Structures are given as structure tokens and as C-alpha cells.
Structure 1
Amino acid sequence: MAILDVFINFIQVTMPPSDVIILTDPASDLSVHRKGITIYPIEGEYSRDKLMLQRIRSYITFLERKLQEHSQGQRLINHYIFTDSDIAVVDDLGHIFQNHQNFHLALTFRNHKDQPLNSGFIAVRGTPDGILRAKVFLQEILSIYSSKYMNASRMLGDQLALAWVVKSHPSFDTRRFTKAQAFVEEIGGASVLFLPCATFNWTPPEGAGQFHGMPLDVKASKLSTRPIFQPLLMSPVLKIEFLLSLFSQFITPHLKLMWMVEHQTWLPLEMLLIVRQKGQWPYWMCSLTSFK
């Protein structure tokens, strides 16, 4: 729950009107009593060795339900962002849909030969056409994942499947991954916006003396995978003061809190969905993570 609390608090600061819906295993005993948060169970296979597979299936299930709502006459357009819940969102992500008008879904990329794409951040335009094309795209990812990368079903298989689908498109130029600049490409009938991880899925560098603060243009940053954050995850006391020192230019003083993790009882799987409306740019965010 510690990472979940941190994630929610970052969202409440950077995107105050947000509501949070937690998509989770129906069998999980998850109880969150905070304003604007709802539990939303989704049936699936939630074992650790099928973790990443279930994440993609859950995304598809959610998009199918949104398509059904549109078919039943829903007129409100919401955009969606699926993201890992071990991310600190430090700026308003709704600008993605304002600044880039002609895409159906967005992925984050980095300059990596084998794993250039990251499934921890997927944006979907909330029009019926955008939802449908994103669903079909994710179904293709799931198909490739299941047929080619089941030996990596616990971790990384989703990234390998994403790379295979994108790189196998005849007109795609992988040299575009070498520059941290957004671009749009038609992939399998969908207009895909590629966003640089350096801005939208930034990971602090590893190694002593390599971390010198977070770049000012970062919109979202990974939290839990780097050594500098391990004390937050392993200690029974989660010290938000540490996060404040790292993200002080983004965080308001009222977040200077301390959570006590008395029993350190973690759920095997939980997925987080944020629903937001602000002016003309309502959007949703979804996240999936595993806790030991």
C-alpha cells in the first residue's frame, strides 16, 4: 500500500480533480478509504508468472467495456493513460492529448536495441475509434506475447512483444528511437504516438555518483526499481520527506507526511485507474504493479 499511497498523492497534487479506480483481482482483500477512490475488480489469471500477460488482458477488458458504454449511447469522451503504479506523476499528463491531436494510442520509447518500448505507460484517445484501434493493437501484442515470448511471461515479455509488432512493420525506421523526440507512425491500422521515456517514463540512473537530480522536463518518473528508492520500499516507515527532497520543485508542502506500514502485508497484484476531467480534456489513467 505504500507505493499506492505515494502514487495517489502525486496524482492529487499534479491532477487535483482526479478520481481513482483500482482495478484488481476479485479475490484480493483490498480496502482503500480515501475520497475519490473506487475498487473495480476484473477477472483474470493473477499469478506472478502470468503477471504481464494479465496486465495486457486487463487493459483490453477495460477498453472493451468502454466501447460497450459508447455503443449504449455514452457521449462523454474520456482519454486514458495506463501506467505502472510505481511512477511519480509530476506534471499534468492531459497535455499529451492537447499537444498531439492525431493519434489513437501512445507508447514510450528509449534508445535500447532489444527493448526500446515500455508498456508501463500507454495512452489511449477516448473516442470510440481511438479505443477500438487501441484495443485491436493490444490484442495483437497479446497474440505475439502468447505465441513467441511465453518464456518471459513473468517479466519483459510485454516489452519484447511490443518491439516485435512495431519493428516488423515494413515502413518503420528504428533509427527514430535514437533521438528523444516524439513522433507518430501508422502501425497495424492505428496511429501510434511515440513519446520519449526521458520525459514520460524517466528512470533515475544506477550507480554511485550517477544521480544528480531529476530533469526539469520530466512528466513521470519511475520510483521503485532503483537503489535510491529501496529504503522507501523496505523500511516499515515510508518517509515522504525523501521524496520531497527529490521532487521539491513539484510538490506542495501539505504532502510532507509519513506513512506507517505496520504489517507490511502486500497484495499479489493490483491495478490502478485514475479518472479525471479538467475542462475539455478529461482522461483516465490505469496502472498495474506487483507487491511481494
Structure 2
Amino acid sequence: MSITAAMVKELREMTGAGMMDVKKALTETDGNMEAATDWLRTKGLAKAAKKADRVAAEGLIGVAVSGGRGVAVEINSETDFVGKNVDFQNLVRDITKVALETGETVEVLKATQLNGQTVADVLTDAIARIGENLNLRRLHVLEGTTIVSYVHNAAAEGLGRIGVLVALNGPEDKALEIGKQFAMHIAATAPLALSEADVDAAVLERELAVQTQKALEENAESAKPKPDAVIHNNIIPGRMKKFLSEVTLLNQAFVINPDLTVAQAAAEAGVEITGYARVAVGEGIEKVEEDFAAEVAKTLQG
């Protein structure tokens, strides 16, 4: 497979690695982006990629809670200016309220009535009125004994760039108090899963492959190589344990008191975290970069 300049550019932006390293990674993996990323990580050449740098979608997350039920709704717009538009804010707030009452999926929510119209039709009218394409992209529902919500980068009450929901068991007053702290922690750390048991098997398999290859290559290049048993029974499991402590909520160091894990902080408060949701505007949508000069030149050429 031929390696194009666009592929090199994309992988450099994803990993922060140098151009020659990126080219070699793509060549070694026959142009497979995911495999090339892992190859760079194995060699210690990939830097932490910031997903936000690749996100093009704008808009708002709406959150609402009632009793033991909470919802987080993402509605996208084309520009961030729309997020400051009161009309758009009211739209997101109204749809979030409907979701809290009846929504289970995006499809069900779009078919639900809002002010005498379906939510889908309300969105269509808003597109014509606001002048930008709007998209009801995601709905997350969380249920539990006590649900606590938090909005980061708030544009208005219950509306912002990141919406978090946390479900807790335990005395309601304690759950509400520390639940807000846990929600803020989740907004900041973006855990992949609640606990080790909840981590996707494919994610674990991929990480294990990377850490195994990395450890073996480091050992092969070491002036004092360690026995294979040490590599497989100590070093690799140790690195996987560190990985899980960084990506699972209950095992993360609590940002408000790093001497405790989140699970330990919950236990000290007399509560248990049973679930969470973190929804950020534009997550997973790749940025479409436009060459403005080229676009103008093309227009002038007719």
C-alpha cells in the first residue's frame, strides 16, 4: 500500500511523532493507522494525543436529573457561536427535559412530542431559524439510587461542553455532597470504565500487545537483560496494572485527595459508585481541515 502525505500528516497529528518515524511506522504496518500508532507506542515515539485537537463538532451537552434518573444529551452545531445563542440553548434545554421524561434512545427521543411537534421536526425548524445544521447525536441515560450531575464549561444552567452523571448508593446527603466531587473528577480525567471488569476486552488485548512488545524490545536492547520470567511475570503485569489504575474510575487517584483512590474516597464517605457517564461535545468526530486559500483559488477558477 502506498503511503500518502495525508496519511503521514494524520498520524503525526494523532501521535506527535516525528515525520521519519511516522513514515517508517506506516511502512512497517502497510498503512494501517491503528497498527502504526501501536508501533510508535512500542518504540516509545508516540506522544499523548489530544482528542480535542481532532474534534470539529460544536454545540452543547444538556444534563438533567430527577430522582434516580439522569440524562445527558448532545446536540451539535457547526460553530461554537451557536452554543452562545439563547435560542439554541433553550432548544437543548427543552429537548433534555423531554429526554428525562421519556427518552431511552436517540431514535425514540426524535419521535417524542415537544410543543405539538416531534423533536425531529423541532430540530428541522431550528435549523431554518438559526441558519446552521444541527444534529441530535447522543443520549445517555443513567439510573441509580442517587444521581448527581455536573456540567463543565457551562454556557448556562445544565448546559455546557462536558456533561457528567454519577450514580451512587448510600445516604442521599453524603451521596449528593461527594458525588459532585466525583463528577468533577470524571470531567477532568475521562476514565474509560468504572472498574477493571468493565474495560473492553479489545482495549485490554491491544494494550497488552503494546506493553509486551515494548518490554521485550527494551530488554533485548538492555546491557543487562532480565530473564523472560521476570519480563512476563513482573514487568508486563506491572505495566498493565498501572494502565488500569489510570483508565478505570475506581482505581484512579482522586484528584481532590491523590493519596486515596476514588473507590477509597467513596468508602470513606460511606457511599458506593455504581455507574457514571461522561459526554463531551464532538467526541469521536474527526476535524475536517479546510484549505481556505485553495478553496478561494478554486472558486476564482470557476
When the two structures are superposed, what TM-score results if normalisation uses the length of structure 2?
A: 0.27
Q: Higher helix fraction: Structure 1 or Structure 2?
A: 2
Greater relative contact order, per chain length (Cα 8 Å cut-off, separation 6+): 1
When the two structures are superposed, what TM-score results if normalisation uses the length of structure 1?
A: 0.28
Larger Cα-atom Rg = 2
